[in-house]
Structure 1
């Protein structure tokens, strides 16, 4: 199963590499696109849960690393949820 990382810029200008066990991230995010924080969270939840389920279908267990990445994303985004103009930008995909 092809893994990938996707780089994002958070509303505070910091950048992070995020992990996915599947290329499914590219089905949910557009390179160079800004997303309001709630929308980014919703898309990340859908994409990383789907990626984890692909691992489950293939190997018989969920991908704890993908679910951990989702938890990290939720924690990083939490302080920005009250800022209506806060956006997350998808900077790159690497497989």
Structure 2
């Protein structure tokens, strides 16, 4: 199962590096995207819950690191106004792009 990190900038300029045990974050967030604090918290924790369940399905136990990241995001989000903006700066690794042969 491919792991990934995603980097966000909170409304006060603080940058946070986050961990996910799955690339599922790409289904919920976009690099360069700006989300309200409430929307970001919701999207990120939903994705991290999905990631933890993917680990559970494959290995028989949930990923505690995904839960810890979700808790960090929830706790950090409480410091800001719900309507303030969080920016997704990076996601690594990126999703593979389709080759020209696959799109024709």
TM-score of the two chains, using structure 1 as the length reference: 0.94
Once residues 92 and 7 of structure 1 are traced to their aligned partners in structure 2, the CA distance between those partners, rounded to angstroms, is 5
How many residue pairs end up in the alignment?
93
Q: Which runs of 5+ in 1 are unaligned?
A: none
Once residues 68 and 74 of structure 1 are traced to their aligned partners in structure 2, the CA distance between those partners, rounded to angstroms, is 10
TM-score of the two chains, using structure 2 as the length reference: 0.86
Structure scoring higher RCO (CA < 8 A, sep ≥ 6) equals 1
Task: Determine if the alignment matches structure 1 residue 21 to structure 2 residue 24.
Answer: no
* Bigger Cα Rg: 2
Q: Tell me which residue corresponds to 1:94.
A: 92
Deviation >2 Å, runs of 4+: none
Quote the RMSD (CA, aligned, Å). Answer: 0.9
Please say if residues 38 and 83 of structure 2, whose CA atoms lie closer than 8 Å, have aligned partners that are also in contact. Answer: no
